[in-house]
Chains A and B, each alone.
Chain A
């Protein structure tokens, strides 16, 4: 019997496949030619232990992008977000950032990476010259160090040194009033933990020179068991404890320290407590923990902030995080700068961003400013208060004074050789 059909792929099938291939290759080009959208790339961490950083950053961004698009977009161009996971690896962050710009045609980058990833994306921005907004890295050096400075990169996040100045002065007041002389610290063992604690102690001693640090603990990042740390602190018998543990680490720490009734034996200052990621997860939130505000919808106590927090909760069924407001601010600033420049061009937006002051639910006085000299965010709400076990969790927040912050920040820059 003769075979009528040869095995393998027929000519007709080959032609069909080639046709399909050509169409699928050509489609993006057609789409791009018609597109009036502006693509904004966003490398962030969407997997692993800190995936919440990525998801809540994404939520914060999308909430604002929808508003901007409804109002006509960036200079008439609708924003299209391209959000991609870097797995928290700096080399992946750099690769993804390059891919977003070079292949996906993104004209602006929102760098929602943490720590080292942000520095990797910063180098990509330096290399490609694309407008880049760092939204999550709070490492002061990213904008304070003149070696890092490039005209196309901005930061719309808090800055470590601001937190330390406000935290230090707040703690010193309490220390003087209550006579807290013996202090202990307990912070995660990596750059953020070490730097933040160091700066905090510096400013605490500056405002209250007679305090002394009698015990230091450096648990590993993501350590599951804190028994040893808790008992060490209890044995040292300090009058006050400072910690910059955050997220899941902070909540496990509190749950475990509660067993030893640690919180009734000393004043505790935990800078990252007043964030819903920690407040809503802790089993028995002790009363009276001093904390800096990260994001809380009752501070600033304005209708705008409360409305923003509620809108977020309504849309995503969870409260915003510190990362959410920082990322939302990036989009708010972009929209305003684009309006001012009447353009969606990265260079023109960058020009308009320098020194730009916008109305913001997260501002200490209802506004935030993109400081021109080092292209970082200032004027955001920053303050400390004490916790209660139920909503609103931190009823009274004492505002930090931005005038003092600016003075001490300038001094700090000089001491570091940055200014």
Chain B
């Protein structure tokens, strides 16, 4: 064994340990964030805040999962909203028609999403760039049209009516807003933690490599198609979870959840928050929801205001907020280093 090989071997042993400590640190941060979120209602009694965080959880999971495709793998999906809608409808229908316990419906909905995403993904991820974008959009419209026309099951464009029943399980009653809030926070934090692990794993780095140079990745023996399909399905599962939270929040599911505008909002959130950092989409979500809620309160011309904000980010900053902050911070540190 040469010296070089020995060194490499030592490094190989080193890496998992490092990864493990990083994972532990992430888990601790996630736990801390969850505790803070869960304690918020004891400090602020505002129901608006609870509603806001629940919606942040739904959109945040959706947008962050979209970033796994857009930012990490370079798959610009225009149809990610279909899984958001699928989650909402799957869960709502399961609860209305079968009366199974909530966790069972949750798992079953994810299972359905898994199957659908596998089929759609297997067809889509072979395509590149604009073709991929448009075929995902086509599938989204297919699902949306199915929801609209299958009136006997989905209620057509009136949506799932009559509320989603949610029998209490393990002492958790999701029809209680506080319980729903804590459950949404838990799902959000767990979801973000898992997605972060995916992004930081060797698989996550494979994705970045595929994004930067797919040909090179395949030449060093990576099955590009399989990697893309895997992340497509994983992202779909998180988007579906977001849809489930939304269905619980509005106690129903509506065709709008599977319409292209939801996908568009996801892309917009990513533009707003930035795609180069993991938390960019989450920041974008909070930003968009705050903007949306305050602007609709103040004026009927919210479209105009939101449009100007998009223009500012697209033409003014030329990047998302988090990208900008990270760069600005790095520059400042470098600048301070040079001076010091």
Contact = CB atoms under 8 A, between A and B. Distances in A.
B339 interface: no
Interface string B90-130: 00000000000000000000000000000000000000000
A96 B47 contact: no
B297 A120 contact: no
A84 interface: yes
B48 A94 contact: no
Nearest to B59: A91
Nearest to B296: A85
Contacts of B255: 116
Contacts of B162: 145, 147-148
Given A90-B256, A98-B51, A190-B148, A123 B251 contact: yes
Interface in B264-293: 293
B254 A102 contact: no
A85 B297 CA distance: 8
Interface string A76-114: 000000001101011110111011001100000000000
Given A94-B249, A102-B47, A116-B255, A47 B302 contact: yes
A126 interface: yes
A191 interface: yes
Interface in A226-282: none
Given A89-B256, A90-B250, A91-B246, A96 B158 contact: no
A98 B300 contact: no
B46 interface: yes
B219 to A, nearest CB: 46
B151 to A, nearest CB: 7
Contacts of A141: 158, 161
A126 B163 CA distance: 9
B167 interface: no
B157 A85 contact: no
A56 to B, nearest CB: 14
Contacts of B175: 127
Given A84-B297, A103-B47, A120-B252, A191 B163 contact: no
A139 interface: yes
Nearest to A101: B47
Contacts of B302: 47, 85, 87
B72 interface: no
Nearest to A119: B161
B41 interface: no
A127 to B, nearest CB: 7
A115 B256 contact: no
Given A84-B297, A91-B246, A123 B48 contact: no
B141 to A, nearest CB: 13
A96 B51 contact: no
A115 B157 contact: yes
A85 B301 CA distance: 10
Chain A binding surface SS class:
helix
Contact of A96 (B246, B296, B303): B296
A116 B254 contact: yes
A136 to B, nearest CB: 14
B151 A191 contact: yes
B300 A95 contact: no
A46 interface: yes
Contact of B252 (A90, A99, A190, A191): A90
A398 B175 CA distance: 49
A98 B297 contact: no
A95 B163 CA distance: 15
B55 interface: yes
Interface in B21-54: 46-48, 51
Contacts of B159: 90, 116, 119-120
A140 to B, nearest CB: 11
B251 A99 contact: no
Q: By CB atoms of chain B within 10 A, which of A89, A91, A99, A126 has the most?
A: A91
Contacts of B78: none
Interface string B293-332: 1001100111100000000000000000000000000000
Interface in B218-276: 246, 249-252, 254-257
Contacts of B303: 47
Given A91-B250, A126-B251, A194-B156, 6 more contacts: A47-B300, A90-B256, A95-B51, A96-B296, A116-B255, A194-B151
17 contacts: A85-B296, A85-B300, A87-B302, A91-B249, A91-B250, A96-B296, A99-B48, A102-B51, A103-B48, A115-B158, A116-B255, A119-B159, A119-B161, A119-B252, A120-B159, A127-B251, A191-B151
* Nearest 9 interchain pairs by C-beta: A102-B47, A123-B251, A90-B254, A94-B250, A103-B48, A116-B159, A191-B156, A147-B162, A191-B157
